[in-house]
């Protein structure tokens, strides 16, 4: 079974952000066609592509809709078959490091010194640790051929 192609009727050429978002999603689909994906996931991806192809809203709404569908597909692939785009884990672990590691470190430093103004000191520590952990996971995914040759950006 093959992943369907994008074929929308909405004019995208006059809006650079929309065009970039559309092209990024198309590139994601091209990269997915190169991977071995179970047929039930291909069916799910195709259902999202059909929804995008049949979208009847305006340009800005279309861009947001594409980003929502793209995020859904990427999260589904990461969860089900562990196939991820480049920098996927780094992006996730950067914020997790700040929240789950950096904030408690900052609270501990603030409590130890009795100066809660030092709470923010832990955030860059957590950010750094999160980036390192995420980068290692991205390298492992690349080594195991579970990484797509695309870096997803936030256009909308």
User: Could you tell me the residue ranges of all domains in the chain?
Assistant: 16-83, 84-155
List the helix and strand counts (H, then E) for the chain. Answer: 6, 2
Q: Which residues contact 11 (CB under 8 A, 6 or more apart)?
A: 59
Task: Tell me the mean pLDDT in the region 88-107.
Answer: 95
Q: Which residues contact 115 (CB under 8 A, 6 or more apart)?
A: none
The span from the CA of 68 to the CA of 154, in Å, is 11
Burial class (CB in 10 A: 0-12, 13-18, 19+), 40: exposed
Per-residue model confidence (pLDDT) at position 15: 84
CA distance between the termini of the chain:
31
> Among residues 121, 72, 75, 129, which one has the least CA distance to residue 100?
129
The span from the CA of 64 to the CA of 15, in Å, is 13
> Among residues 129, 136, 124, 150, which one has the least CA distance to residue 89?
136
The model's pTM: 0.86
Residue-wise pLDDT for 19-73, tens only, equals 899 999 999 999 999 999 999 999 999 999 999 999 987 778 899 999 999 999 9
């Amino acid at each position: 079974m093959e992943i369907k192609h994008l074929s929308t009727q909405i004019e995208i050429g006059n809006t650079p952000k929309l065009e970039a978002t559309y092209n990024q999603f198309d590139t994601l689909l091209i990269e997915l066609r190169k991977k071995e994906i179970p047929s039930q996931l291909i069916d799910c991806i195709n259902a999202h592509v059909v929804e995008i192809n049949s979208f009847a809203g305006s340009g800005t709404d279309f861009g947001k809709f594409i980003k929502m569908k793209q995020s859904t597909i990427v999260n589904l692939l990461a969860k089900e078959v562990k196939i991820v785009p480049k920098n996927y884990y780094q992006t996730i672990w950067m914020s997790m490091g700040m929240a789950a590691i950096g904030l408690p470190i900052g609270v501990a430093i603030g409590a130890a010194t009795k100066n809660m103004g030092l709470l923010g000191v832990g955030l860059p520590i957590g950010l750094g640790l999160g980036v390192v952990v995420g980068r290692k996971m991205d390298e492992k995914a690349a080594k195991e051929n579970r990484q797509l040759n695309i870096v997803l950006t936030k256009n909308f």
